[in-house]
Amino acid sequence: MHKKLDELSVETSASNLSLGGILLNELAPEPVTYPLVSFIIRNWNYARFVGSAIRSVRNQTYPNFEAIVVDNGSTDDSRAEIEAEIADDPRFRTIWLDENLGALAGALKGLDVARGDFVTFVDSDDYLLADFAAMHVQAHLALPRGVAFTSSAVIEIDATGAALGTGLRGLQLETRNGGLRSSFLVLRLSEVSGAQFDQLDRSIVAHPPTENGWLWSPGTSNMFRRFLLETIRPRAKPDVMFGLSADGHFCRLAHVFGGSATIAMPLSAYRLHGDNFFAGNPALDGVVDVSGPARRFFPARRREAMRVLVEDAASLSARMGAWRFWSSIAQVLDSDGVSSVQVFEAPQAQAIISENLPLLFATFGKWNTLRKLRELMSRSALQAILHAADHGSAAYAPRMIGIEISMLEARLRRKRRAKAARRGLRR
């Protein structure tokens, strides 16, 4: 029998961290341990794959980790497979759910009990390479600036395990913000050799929070800072979250808060098969593949990201600043080829704003809030929100005219600047 969650303690690993070639424990007045990594393995009816996922976590070269296997009410032989693979390994814990709550809600059940400084969500049909955790943790320790999460390239495999290619998916390879700090100036893991550190240095690119677009690999390829996941976890009920993925929710929001870094080195395997949620085909240059059922849930994903930002507006704007708060809303909504104006044509998106309009007014002021909202949506959508919130739009008419005029003036200024820039290029 597996131990209950509250019967387990976290065993820290004896540190082999070094600084400038000297073991850190020889320099520090007390033992310094490796940060704990939490692997949250989500499974639903993948008995044929979940064993490989568990073995890949157990075989990590990184010594200080815990693993939480969340089974989403599987009806196949998953439980027997999971219990056989875990055996008596004290680093593994299990959560057995009575029903399938979906990938994101299942991930949150694991996050509720995770104790690691870093978290990776593992899809049970994928697996990690042995140096996944060591390389990701080393990246976090050696980047010039801290980031919310790191994302690495993948090896694409089919249902039988045959290699199909080295997939970069949405991973960005630009090098303008590339590289780690000098290996002698950062904490080094003994599990990462000098050659591996140099390879990581050449492969990594940091992306500031203001950089737009999907920059990362999907699913199992990401390692997040746990404290940030707690800040941006979804607020919706499980039935609303059903169909949403952990990476789809957390990657965009974590990035707008703390930036990210991509590693153009495959550190995990992404399995392509008939039941893939996100993509069913190998990655091809110039082809965006969202051939799995995930595409149906993109509107709900955008709305839930907006809900997280809006419902915690006072706290988040205090930490990010008002300008970044509003630009972050635009950033998470202007995605997947859809603009924020299109998003707010949906009544569900309008409802999130109307329900939280008093909070936004109290945080940013009434007229500043209305001006920012008008920049994100059409005039008719804003009027619908005001009516739904029992703020008749007629009462705002005089000031709204001023907002419309200021927006028109801003557009004209942008056009004049663009025209002047084009003239300068022709000279």
DSSP, residue by residue, 158-198:
ETT--EEEEE-TT-----TTB-PPPTTSSEE-TTS-HHHHH
Same domain, 264 and 410: no
Q: Which residues constitute the domain of residue 409?
A: 328-426
Within-domain flag for 308: no
Which residues is 222 bridged to in the sheet? 151
Same domain, 287 and 220: yes
pLDDT at position 3 is 43
Within-domain flag for 320: no
Within-domain flag for 260: yes
Same domain, 341 and 284: no
Ranges of H-type helices in 189-261: 194-203, 226-232, 238-241, 246-258
What is the DSSP code (8-state) at residue 266? Answer: E
| 209 has pLDDT over 90 | yes
Q: Please enumerate in sequence order all residues whose Cβ is within 8 A of that of 312, keeping only pairs 6 or more positions apart, or say none.
A: none
Q: What does the pLDDT look like over 265-282, one tens digit per residue?
A: 999 999 987 665 455 455
- Counting every residue, how long is the chain? 427
| 339 has pLDDT over 60 | yes
Domain CATH code at residue 253: 3.90.550.10
Mean pLDDT of the region 378-402: 75
pLDDT at position 424 is 67
Within-domain flag for 144: yes
Same domain, 273 and 341: no
Within-domain flag for 393: yes
Mean pLDDT of the region 412-419: 77
Q: How confident is the model at residue 173 (pLDDT cuts 50, 70, 90)?
A: low
Within-domain flag for 382: yes
Same domain, 240 and 333: no
Do 245 and 220 contact (CB within 8 A), yes or no? no
Which residues is 223 bridged to in the sheet? 150
> Does residue 80 sit in helix, strand or coil?
helix
The Cα 44–Cα 269 span in angstroms is 18
Q: How many domains does the chain have?
A: 2
Which residues is 44 bridged to in the sheet? none
Q: How confident is the model at residue 219 (pLDDT cuts 50, 70, 90)?
A: confident
Q: Distances in Å between the alpha carbon of 72 and those of 5, 42, 95, 273, 313?
A: 17, 7, 9, 20, 32
Same domain, 339 and 263: no
The Cα 303–Cα 295 span in angstroms is 14
Higher pLDDT among residues 386 and 286, named by residue: 386
Same domain, 349 and 235: no
The Cα 162–Cα 17 span in angstroms is 37
| 358 has pLDDT over 60 | yes
Same domain, 80 and 137: yes
Q: Distances in Å between the alpha carbon of 408 and those of 296, 334, 353, 374, 392?
A: 35, 21, 24, 12, 24
pLDDT at position 294 is 57
Of the residues 291, 311, 337, which one is the last residue of a structural domain? 291
> What pTM does this model have?
0.85
Do 367 and 399 contact (CB within 8 A), yes or no? yes
Do 180 and 11 contact (CB within 8 A), yes or no? no
CA–chain centroid gap for 16, Å, is 29
- Core vs surface per residue 268-282: b (16+ CB within 10 A) or e: bbbbbeeebbbbeeb
Q: How confident is the model at residue 336 (pLDDT cuts 50, 70, 90)?
A: low
Q: What does the pLDDT look like over 99-141, one tens digit per residue?
A: 999 999 999 999 999 999 999 999 999 999 999 999 999 999 9
Same domain, 334 and 251: no
What percentage of residues in the chain have a pLDDT greater than 70?
85
Same domain, 236 and 348: no
Residue the block writes with tokens 């969340």: 70
Instruction: Give the H/E segment covering residue 26.
Output: helix 24-27
The Cα 71–Cα 107 span in angstroms is 10
Within-domain flag for 323: no
Give the lowest-confidence range in 10-24, 33-47, 168-182, 362-376. 168-182
Instruction: Give the H/E segment covering residue 49.
Output: helix 47-58
Mean pLDDT of the region 62-91: 97
Of the residues 265, 291, 317, which one is the last residue of a structural domain? 291
Same domain, 176 and 118: yes
Same domain, 171 and 261: yes
Do 32 and 18 contact (CB within 8 A), yes or no? no
| 248 has pLDDT over 60 | yes
Within-domain flag for 193: yes
Q: How confident is the model at residue 56 (pLDDT cuts 50, 70, 90)?
A: very high
The Cα 401–Cα 333 span in angstroms is 26
Of the residues 232, 262, 291, which one is the last residue of a structural domain? 291
Q: Between the ranges 104-108, 237-241, 327-331, 372-376, where is the mean pLDDT highest? A: 104-108
